[in-house]
Structure 1
């Protein structure tokens, strides 16, 4: 493995899209499952959230992760390994300490659009094939705890009757995606609408804060809106920054679509946007968006 690229971003911000584009290029690969959070959390399962700190990168944890990533690159036969797990947006400093050679690609999206998509995904129907692909990469020693956590989540959704629900005012019975340190309190006090936006805000703000300590030449920014509107130009720019300009292939972005921009316009009436902007406005502005998401 000559290069490790870690994609960070909040859920539903284009992380999957960007990973798929990059891994369609010659010599670039990733794990054949959506995310590898169980690998990242090995050795720190006693931490109930995803905000791992540099001190959690103990020698045995670093050794495990580096060995696992090196094995993956060898198994996939690639010289550029791409990793995308949304929860890593909450532990960039931990990832940077573990892999000081890694380059980070931060893809961000309008928080209202991302949260509207997250709400649809939160209580989505169970996908057995997707789950089995992830189970393959759960460390054997962690299987009992991971399976128990999974069963608790599934049972919670079934008993609550929330499976498939996307109601904005719903008090969520279980958590989905990256977990901030106070996710249990958020779950108890916030509606699904508020939880989804808060999750986006925490992922984005923590990423911005922690990337500030990473060498600038190892940090690359991608605005989802720019990428889907000008995919060929944005891919060329990113590959040039990564030193992979010779891997460019136009067909890699052939299916990229801008159709999801502004999807939240029907989700949040103006008065609701104004109220919720108090929660996410500063981070929206840090990323270059209007605080209410309306241009």
Structure 2
């Protein structure tokens, strides 16, 4: 949502797909999780990823390239080693609502147009590896009691252990917790002016005011009329839907599981 809002402005653009995890993982494609450490950002890896940024910037004539890959929340120091000049928008939301949304993706049916959008940006030499993983994930869903994929979303270091010990709701909540905590740990060490924290609920309730704050952080001067137009489709109607879909008993269970992080961000 935020990426799509930002890229309505002149000089701000992004890739024509949802995210580019394949590009970020090139050179580390067989690393067992998305928690790739900064020392894995070799000169060759940096050159490749930065080359992709330079290509999209040239292709779209962008002064600012916006990039939103969920798994980057687990490897901020790695990202910063690759693009040290980057600024970060740390947008977070109620972890229970996020759990409800993530569960839908874990159990989603095949979406061919979505896949074709992303596959265009898979490095050619990595295609066989990802093709096998993708077919395994789909095959697993066919036989799964929870009708879930074998894997989805940011891959944690101990993902297989988590999948064996927890049900899908708990897995989603733990993914949210780890992503938020890992990001916060990295951002807390960065100098002032490099990170802007954005509460999702605040953004959807007061999008014009929040977007103005974001644009100021980015150093972009935009008219009030353009800001109003950019957020015309932003709505707060999704707030609480995740909690409602999970039910009171499950919400209470998840609040106990990830309560420390919920409290840290005033969601509990």
TM-score normalized by the length of structure 2: 0.95
Q: 2:114 aligned to 130, 136, 150, which one?
A: 130
Q: Paired residue for 1:221?
A: 197
Is 1:288 matched with 2:260? no
SS of residue in 2 equivalent to 1:249 = helix
C-alpha separation between the residues in 2 aligned to 1:107 and 1:236?
15
Q: d(CA) in 2 for partners of 1:240 and 1:285?
A: 29
Partner secondary structure for residue 107 of structure 1:
strand
Q: For 1:25-174, list aligned pairs within 5 A.
A: 25-160=9-144, 165=147, 172=148, 174=150
The runs of 5 or more residues in structure 1 that have no matched partner are 1-16, 166-171, 291-295
Q: Could you tell me which of 156, 159, 183 is aligned with 1:207? A: 183
Q: Is the 8 A contact 2:107 2:149 kept in 1?
A: no
Q: Secondary structure at the match of 2:67?
A: strand
What whole-Å deviation, never above 9, does each CA across 1:68-113 have from its counterpart, x for those lacking one? 1111111122111000000000001100111110001010000001
Point out the more displaced range, 68-77 or 83-92. Answer: 68-77
In the aligned structure 1, how far is the partner of 2:193 from the partner of 2:158? 33
Once the two structures are TM-superposed, the CA of residue 228 in structure 1 deviates from its matched residue by 0.3
| Contact kept in structure 1, 2:34 and 2:75, CA below 8 Å | yes
2 CA distance for matches of 1:197 and 1:265? 12
- 1:173 positional shift: 5.3
Greater alpha carbon shift after TM alignment, 238-247 vs 79-88: 238-247
Do residues 192 (structure 1) and 192 (structure 2) align? no
TM-score by length of 1: 0.86
Unaligned runs of 5+ in 2: none
CA distance in 2, matches of 1:21, 1:233: 13
Q: In structure 2, how many angstroms separate the alpha carbons of the residues matched to 1:218 and 1:68?
A: 22
Q: Equivalent of 1:252, from 209, 230, 233?
A: 230
> What is the Cα deviation at residue 285 of structure 1?
2.0
Q: Residue 280 of structure 1: CA displacement?
A: 1.1
Q: Distance in 2 between matches of 1:208 and 1:114?
A: 17
Moved over 6 A (4+): none
Deviation readout 1:221-247 (Å, 9 max, x if unpaired): 111000000011110011111111336
Offset from partner CA, 1:186-228 (integer Å, 9 cap, x none):
1111101101101110111111011112222110111100000
Residue 269 of structure 1 and its aligned partner are, at CA, apart by 4.3
